[in-house]
């Protein structure tokens, strides 16, 4: 179930990237061959870039692949590592959870403004940021539950 | 310089989260949130700082495109062609395959822009070949790791795009400025290999026949055109660096899927997915750094630091030496992109106020970071090579030390002679 959802999310991200690249090619051809600066393609490419980052971080990139300074963490014996994992998930997940309601409120507020070219409501366009925050909060919660449970060693 | 509550919370939360193993981007974001909470600022600033900055910094789009170029080139088997050419050029010397490793990294890095991509691509292939030829595995992996540091000094370069964005300098001038230092790095590594080869009696490769030369050059010609096209379109002013990155990606796709037909649909999908992974990882660090840097800037840390250093009044050379030491030391604990995004906004204004050219300073900074990538005990390249080749890290540490010495010699030379960086961009019209 989760595996299938992640595959779907990966496909969506890959397609977003491919469309972003196609927009670049289209834009370059239009500009140099026809002298037409297609500003909408520029804007859409930037927005796709932002979605690839946050969508990808929320649903595609596995935790172990992320760039972390884990020299200390990995050197710990298992029990302190379990504690460190719980503290980390509570600290980071907690702070992001604390910020999430304000972020969502602010995004709704931003819907009063529109993007420069496509005239899309900014709040929805930027909503990938809230999606990423929510995903990290959810993942942190799962980590805490698992590390506190009986099968905690599998989670390390 | 008194630390305020805000800056203590910011840095405290960031360091704590990072040490507990949190990904760097998230740790910076968490530090930023804690900072906004204790200073009673609006948390909506998180959205403004990340999303508006990403939206308005168009040049950042070059980063995923360069990642895509590197992945496409790696998937297309272009490496073999470059390998054959390098082998023809330097294989017949003692320790030939190690020399090939350095030379082909120099050539390949002209298409990738990322040291890790170079190590995982041609670096891995040649390291395996070296082990089969009887080289010690630790030496083979160390050679690939050291050679991969050349990558981001040669255009295209992802760190250089970041630097140009932060320091507000020309990406084109940065790209040209890296060429001479990169050549020096390759020369110094090759010199060390020549010495070691004699001492440890490394094997030679069979020289290729005279008649095979044109075909070997011909096979490598089209891939090697890529950096030329890239620099050409940027420097002639035809295209922005971002557009140039897209042109480079299109060229790589045409080579891989139409001209050589060496890669097909599964490789294409794999390349896209890999690119998404890297883009999301790097993008999160960028997003975290935007928030982190906002907090640092609103606590007036850059101004305080600048005032403190200018009060101390170092000579430019002393400042550069201090920067080298600081960056190399930090490279032992931080990753290159984080250092670039967090430290450069602090250092560049000081460098400029000491009349140090920002392009020269940028190349020097990136040189430091790349050496840092190969520096024990935390150098990322050492771990990448260790996990890819299944060699113990300790064996790689031992073998990489002579290469580190060689690279440090280049670093010192560049620090003392800025013209090694600046002569080329100036020749092509950079005013600085």
Q: Does the beta-carbon distance from A49 to B47 stay under 8 Å? A: no
Q: Which two tokens mark B183?
A: 């050549």
Residue B23 pairs in a beta bridge with A68
Give the DSSP letter string of B355-387: T--HHHHHHHHHHHHHHHHT-TTT-HHHHHHHH
pLDDT one-digit tens code per residue, B367-390: 999 998 898 877 878 888 888 888
Q: Is the distance from CB of B160 to CB of B171 less than 8 angstroms?
A: yes
| Enclosing H/E stretch for A125 | helix A122-125
Q: Which residues of B touch A53 (CB under 8 A)?
A: 54, 279-280, 283-284, 286-287
Min Cα–Cα distance to chain A from B422, Å: 31
CA dist B345 and B324 (Å) reads 16
Min Cα–Cα distance to chain B from A46, Å: 6
Q: Does the beta-carbon distance from A95 to B277 stay under 8 Å? A: no
Interface test with B, best of A31, A35, A62, A99 (most B CBs within 10 A): A99
CA dist B10 and B74 (Å) reads 40
Q: What is the mean pLDDT of residues B104-121?
A: 75
pLDDT of residue B224: 82
How buried is residue B402: exposed, middle or buried, by Cβ count under 10 Å (0-12/13-18/19+)? Answer: middle
Q: CA separation (Å) from B273 to A17, A62, A66, B385?
A: 9, 12, 15, 22
B1 pLDDT above the threshold of 70:
no
Q: What is the pLDDT along chain A (156 residues), one digit of tens a residue?
A: 778 999 999 999 999 999 999 999 999 999 888 888 889 999 999 999 999 999 999 999 887 777 776 667 778 888 899 999 999 999 999 999 999 999 999 999 999 999 999 999 999 999 999 999 999 999 999 999 999 988 887 777
Higher pLDDT, B111 or B164: B164
Q: What are the backbone dihedrals phi and psi of residue A111, each rounded to the nearest 5 degrees, phi first?
A: -65, -15
- Say which of A14, A57, A129 has its CB closest to residue B272: A14
Closest by CA position to B374, among listed B227, B197, B189, B199? B189
Min Cα–Cα distance to chain A from B421, Å: 31
pLDDT of residue B83: 82
Q: What is the mean pLDDT of residues B27-34?
A: 96
- DSSP H helices in B201-240: 213-235
B271 pLDDT above the threshold of 80:
yes
- Chains A, B: CB contacts under 8 A, how many? 181
Interface test with B, best of A15, A45, A56, A118 (most B CBs within 10 A): A56
B82 pLDDT above the threshold of 90:
no
Q: Which residues of B touch A118 (CB under 8 A)?
A: none
Q: Which two tokens mark B64?
A: 């995923």
Min Cα–Cα distance to chain B from A49, Å: 7
pLDDT of residue B404: 96
Q: At what angle do helices B336-353 and B158-167 cross, to 10 degrees?
A: 40
- Say which of A54, A68, A99 has its CB closest to residue B46: A99
Q: Does the beta-carbon distance from A49 to B61 stay under 8 Å? A: yes
Q: Does the beta-carbon distance from A95 to B30 stay under 8 Å? A: yes
Q: Which residues of A touch B29 (CB under 8 A)?
A: 96
C-alpha dihedral over B328, B383, B336, B285, to 10 degrees? -150
Q: What is the mean pLDDT of chain B?
A: 88
B115 pLDDT above the threshold of 80:
no
Dihedral sign, CA of B357, B363, B365, B367?
negative
Q: What is the mean pLDDT of residues B423-429?
A: 90
pLDDT of residue A71: 67
Min Cα–Cα distance to chain B from A119, Å: 14
Q: Which two tokens mark B206?
A: 């069979």
Min Cα–Cα distance to chain A from B206, Å: 41
pLDDT one-digit tens code per residue, B196-244: 999 998 988 888 888 888 988 888 888 888 888 888 888 777 888 888 8
Rounded percentage of chain B residues whose pLDDT exceeds 70: 98
Confidence band, pLDDT 50/70/90 cuts, at residue B113 = low
How buried is residue B1: exposed, middle or buried, by Cβ count under 10 Å (0-12/13-18/19+)? Answer: exposed
Q: At what angle do helices B179-200 and B96-108 cross, to 10 degrees?
A: 170
E strands, B273-338, where? none
pLDDT one-digit tens code per residue, B294-316: 998 888 888 888 888 888 888 99
Q: What is the ipTM of this complex?
A: 0.94
Higher pLDDT, B418 or B332: B418
Q: What is the mean pLDDT of residues B285-295?
A: 91
- Say which of B21, B54, B68 has its CB closest to residue A88: B21
pLDDT of residue B310: 82
pLDDT of residue B111: 67
């Amino acid at each position: 179930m989760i595996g299938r959802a992640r595959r779907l999310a990966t496909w969506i991200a890959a397609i977003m990237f491919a469309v972003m690249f196609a927009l670049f090619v289209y834009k370059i051809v239009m500009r140099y061959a026809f002298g037409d600066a297609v500003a909408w393609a520029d804007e859409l490419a930037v927005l796709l870039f932002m979605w690839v980052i946050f969508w990808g971080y929320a649903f595609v990139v596995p935790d172990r692949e992320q760039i972390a300074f884990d020299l200390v963490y990995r050197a710990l014996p298992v029990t302190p590592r379990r504690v460190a994992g719980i503290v980390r998930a509570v600290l980071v997940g907690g702070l992001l959870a604390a910020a999430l309601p304000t972020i969502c409120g602010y995004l709704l507020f931003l819907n009063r403004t529109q993007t420069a070219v496509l005239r899309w409501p900014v709040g929805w366009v930027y909503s990938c940021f809230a999606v990423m925050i929510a995903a990290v909060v959810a993942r942190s919660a799962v980590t805490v539950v698992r590390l506190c449970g009986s099968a905690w060693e599998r989670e390390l | 310089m008194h630390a305020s509550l805000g800056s203590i919370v910011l840095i405290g939360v960031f360091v704590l989260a990072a040490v507990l193993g949190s990904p760097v981007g998230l740790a910076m974001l968490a530090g930023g949130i804690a900072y906004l909470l204790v200073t009673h600022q609006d948390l909506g600033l998180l959205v403004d700082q990340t999303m508006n900055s990403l939206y308005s910094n168009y040049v950042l789009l070059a980063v995923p495109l360069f990642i895509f170029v590197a992945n496409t080139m790696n998937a297309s088997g272009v490496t073999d062609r470059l390998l054959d050419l390098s082998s023809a050029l330097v294989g017949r010397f003692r320790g030939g395959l190690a020399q090939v490793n350095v030379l082909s990294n120099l050539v390949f890095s002209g298409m990738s822009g990322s040291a890790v991509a170079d190590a995982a691509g041609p670096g891995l292939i040649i390291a395996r070949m070296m082990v089969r030829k009887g080289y010690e595995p630790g030496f083979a992996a160390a050679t690939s790791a050291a050679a991969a540091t050349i990558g981001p000094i040669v255009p295209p370069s992802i760190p250089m795009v970041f630097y140009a964005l932060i320091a507000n300098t020309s990406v084109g001038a940065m790209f040209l400025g890296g060429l001479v230092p990169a050549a020096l790095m390759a020369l110094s590594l090759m010199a060390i290999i020549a010495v070691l080869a004699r001492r440890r009696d490394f094997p030679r490769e069979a020289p290729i026949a005279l008649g095979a030369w044109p075909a070997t050059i011909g096979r490598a010609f089209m891939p090697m055109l890529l950096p030329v096209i890239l620099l050409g379109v940027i420097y002639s002013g035809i295209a922005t660096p971002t557009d140039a990155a897209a042109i480079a990606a299109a060229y790589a796709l045409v080579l891989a899927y139409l001209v050589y037909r060496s890669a097909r649909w599964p490789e294409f999908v794999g390349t896209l997915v890999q690119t998404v992974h890297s883009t999301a990882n790097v993008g999160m660090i960028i997003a975290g750094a935007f928030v982190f840097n906002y907090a640092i800037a609103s606590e007036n840390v850059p101004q305080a630091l600048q005032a403190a250093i200018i009060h101390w009044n170092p000579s430019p050379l002393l400042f550069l030496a201090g920067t080298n030491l600081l960056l190399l030391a930090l490279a032992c604990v931080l990753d290159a992109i984080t250092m670039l995004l967090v430290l450069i906004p602090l250092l560049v204004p000081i460098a400029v106020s000491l009349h140090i050219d920002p392009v020269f300073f940028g190349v020097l900074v990136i040189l430091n970071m790349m050496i840092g990538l190969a520096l024990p005990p935390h150098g990322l390249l050492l771990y990448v090579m260790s996990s890819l080749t299944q060699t113990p890290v300790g064996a790689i540490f031992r073998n990489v030390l002579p290469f580190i010495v060689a690279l440090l010699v280049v670093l010192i030379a560049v620090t003392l002679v800025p013209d090694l960086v600046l002569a080329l961009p100036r020749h092509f019209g950079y005013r600085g």
